[in-house]
Amino acid sequence: MAYTGGGQHALMQPRRMRVPAAPSGVMPTGNTTASGKPGTRKATWWDHTGPLAVVFAGGPDGSRGDLVLPVRIPQQPGQWARVEHFLANPGRWHKVDLVRRRKACAPGGWVYEAHLMILGPGYTSPAARDMREQAAEMGRIGGVDGNVSNVSIVSMPASLDPADGTPASTEITLSPEEQALLEREAKKRRGRARALERSRRATNTEQYGLSKKQIRRAEQRAAKGLEPKAVSVPGGARAARVDGVPKQAFRRDRISTGYRMLRARRAEAAVSAAEHRRHRARLLARQIIAAHGPVLVVEDCDIRTWYRLWGKRLSQTTPGLLISALERECQAAGGRLVRASTWSTALSQHCLCGERVKKTLRDREHKCIACGLAGKRDLVSAALAAFVRFADVDDPKTAYLDTTASRHAQIVFAQGLEEALRESTAPSQNTVRGAGHAAVPRQRRATSAPRTAGRRSRATPDETRPVRDHAGKPGHRPGRNPQLTLW
């Protein structure tokens, strides 16, 4: 029996356990009859006080009886506090839902579970609560710079007083162990895709032609006078019309039992990988909050547009998933992750002294000719994000950069700030030396052929996306620096 928080349900998996017996006898109703005797009724499952069980009653018109599923309470160390959080108050129990989950090794490829819905907050471990309380009392301000291959964070005391602390920086990137794991998973994923394709081709041989190698072998056998050899898995292109549309839709192909098993295993592996990425994002978000506090500012970028150039890289680093987890963790710690428009701030094109330092996407180092500050581009942008101010916190377009405060911090912290902008001073589990190289698209002289015949001009009706005016031209921004009006 496992539990998850936030909306809230407890997952119950029946094992081979003794099924509790139905209550018998009579129970008092609390009322009195016409003759003055105490009223009673027949005992039902509502009067059960034995081991925890899930009962699905057939209803008044049912003839099959009740389905009783015994529940096993987790016995691992540290699980009892979680169990008690969800089950200690029966008044918060809402309902039980039957769900199914993909599991290739189960009969039929699915496993059925009963989810107990809880009306209440999710479970938080004592260590996480203590961390959030300590982070709320740190009194730091920080900025986050999301990149394709890393996420950079820089923070400093909100009072800009060296007596309250020193600047700290962190770079989140893939560790060598994670890169090796991703390579192994990618290899397995390619193997599953090839196995699915071979199974489809072997079952629908009439829909595929022979490959060049298979045709050459057939011609060689014919030249030698040998009988033609049947090809079980054709390797050529699919039979298609002149315009490239397959003559038979893929949904009309014959599907074997082995194909269904492979597809179930592929779906199960995809769900497991997605959960691993979410778990990694949650852990990293807690580490960031513990080191830099819950008051952070990040550029309001639409990461979906990055996938046009760096889709494969983004699927590995998942910066959007990390920033979303960081936003939830900031709210849980009593702070907030505020988004600022890139139009009105241009953090990557400025220095802490207020000077505008133009850089291309390939320039990963920041060098200011006015004040001499040198450091990593992402860390400098993250440091500038800490000095972004808002006329309306809920509107990213009202953001502007307070260069007076950034210049003051540069003078006050001096050497400590320069060290934080050169490399990570508060490393996390995923921080490695030399991190911060952005993935830049390869420059080609000719345009490559498109992978698909065309593109949809809009999203499908059942997959609508919210409209975000994150990069619009800002309106009136009070207190802005004249050096920021160069566009």
DSSP string, 366-389: EE-TTT--EEEHHHHHHHHHTTEE
Q: What is the pLDDT of residues 225-250, one digit of tens each?
A: 999 899 999 999 999 999 999 999 99
pLDDT band at residue 430 under the 50/70/90 scheme? low
Dist CA 54 CA 189 (whole Å): 38
Is the pLDDT at 102 greater than 60, yes or no? yes
Compute φ and ψ for 260, nearest 5 degrees: -65, -40
Average of pLDDT values for 419-448? 57
8 A C-beta contact, residue 95 and residue 117: yes
Dist CA 202 CA 211 (whole Å): 14
DSSP 482: G
Q: What is the pLDDT of residues 366-397, one digit of tens each?
A: 999 988 899 999 999 999 999 999 999 999 99
Beta-carbon contacts of 380 under 8 Å, excluding residues fewer than 6 positions away, are 351, 352, 366, 373, 421
Burial class (CB in 10 A: 0-12, 13-18, 19+), 65: exposed
> Is the alpha carbon torsion for 472, 475, 479, 480 positive or negative?
positive
Q: How far is CA 62 from the centre of its chain?
A: 44
Lowest mean pLDDT among 61-75, 106-120, 241-255, 397-411: 61-75
How many angstroms separate the first and last alpha carbons of the chain? 59
Is the pLDDT at 144 greater than 60, yes or no? yes
Beta-carbon contacts of 161 under 8 Å, excluding residues fewer than 6 positions away, are 412
8 A C-beta contact, residue 300 and residue 394: no
8 A C-beta contact, residue 12 and residue 54: yes
DSSP string, 51-63: S-EEEE---TT-S
Residues in the chain: 487
Average of pLDDT values for 333-356? 91
Dist CA 93 CA 71 (whole Å): 15
Average of pLDDT values for 273-277? 91
- Counting Cα atoms < 13 Å in the Cβ hemisphere of 295 gives 15
- Helix (H/G/I), strand (E/B), else coil: 130: helix
DSSP alpha helix (H) spans, 301-414? 307-317, 319-332, 342-345, 377-385, 403-413
8 A C-beta contact, residue 419 and residue 425: yes
Q: What is the pLDDT of residues 157-193, one digit of tens each?
A: 999 999 999 999 999 988 889 889 999 999 999 999 9
DSSP 208: B
Helices 176-203 and 257-292 pack at an angle, to 10 degrees, of 160
8 A C-beta contact, residue 326 and residue 285: yes
Average of pLDDT values for 466-476? 50
pLDDT at 427: 66
pLDDT at 159: 92
Give the DSSP H/E element, type plus range, for residue 28. strand 26-32
Is the pLDDT at 252 greater than 70, yes or no? yes
β partners of residue 299: 340
Q: What is the pLDDT of residues 23-43, one digit of tens each?
A: 888 888 888 888 888 889 989
pLDDT mean across residues, the chain: 82
Beta-carbon contacts of 228 under 8 Å, excluding residues fewer than 6 positions away, are 218, 221, 222
Provide the percentage of residues in the chain whose pLDDT is more than 90: 45
For the CA atoms of the chain, what is the radius of gyration? 31
